[in-house]
């Protein structure tokens, strides 16, 4: 197995695609091997995505961390934040809600894919029953 290069950076789109594949039920070990990243890294991306949505998957300081750091700086008597504490609270709640809604959309997309595939399997089963040599729904008459 390839070792992950510690200096290697992945784009946000790459990380989102990996997290979506995990949500769709992909085997995490196989996915990690295919993408050249550790399983732990995939689970970290998933955790970040669940906490803050796609914006949390970028390198450096994510929006939730930035909000927390602004609040901490204000609490320590440091530089005043650009937003009042009520606005910071509202912003962090809004970001959490956005993450929650994005997770819901991802889950619904995975469910939709599952049901579309199941419907295709059912359609194929019905087609096979009428094929030559297949069993039919009516008995043939021996008279």
Does residue 39 form part of some domain? yes
CA distance 56 to 49: 6
Identify whether the C-beta of residue 17 lies closer than 8 Å to the C-beta of residue 50. no
The answer to whether position 32 is within a domain reads: yes
Per the structure, the count of domains in the chain is 1
**What integer pLDDT is reported at residue 75 of this predicted model?**
55
Is 6 among the domain residues? no
136 is a domain residue = no
Tens digit of each residue's pLDDT (9 = 90 or more) over 80-113: 445 567 777 788 788 888 888 888 888 888 888 8
**pTM score over 0.75:** no
Mean pLDDT of 21-46: 90
Q: Domain containing 29: what range?
A: 12-108
Report yes or no on 44 lying in a domain: yes
- On whether residue 74 sits in a domain, the answer given is yes
pLDDT at 142 over 80: no
62 pLDDT band, cuts 50/70/90, is very low
Instruction: Read off the pLDDT band of 43 (50, 70, 90).
Output: very high
Flag whether 72 is in a domain: yes
And the tokens for 123? Answer: 């359609």
């Amino acid at each position: 197995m390839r070792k992950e290069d510690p200096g290697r950076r992945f784009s946000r789109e790459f990380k989102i695609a990996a997290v979506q594949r995990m949500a769709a039920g992909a085997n995490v070990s196989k996915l990690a091997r295919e993408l050249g990243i550790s399983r732990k890294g995939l689970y970290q991306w998933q955790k970040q995505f669940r906490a803050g949505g796609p914006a949390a998957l970028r390198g450096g300081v994510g929006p939730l961390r930035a909000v927390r750091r602004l609040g901490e700086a204000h609490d320590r008597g440091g530089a005043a934040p650009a937003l009042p504490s009520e606005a910071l609270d509202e912003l962090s709640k809004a970001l959490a809600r956005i993450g929650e809604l994005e997770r819901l959309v991802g889950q619904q997309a995975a469910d939709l894919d599952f049901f579309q595939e199941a419907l295709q399997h059912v359609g194929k089963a019905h087609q096979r029953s009428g094929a030559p040599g297949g069993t039919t729904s009516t008995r043939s008459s021996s008279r």
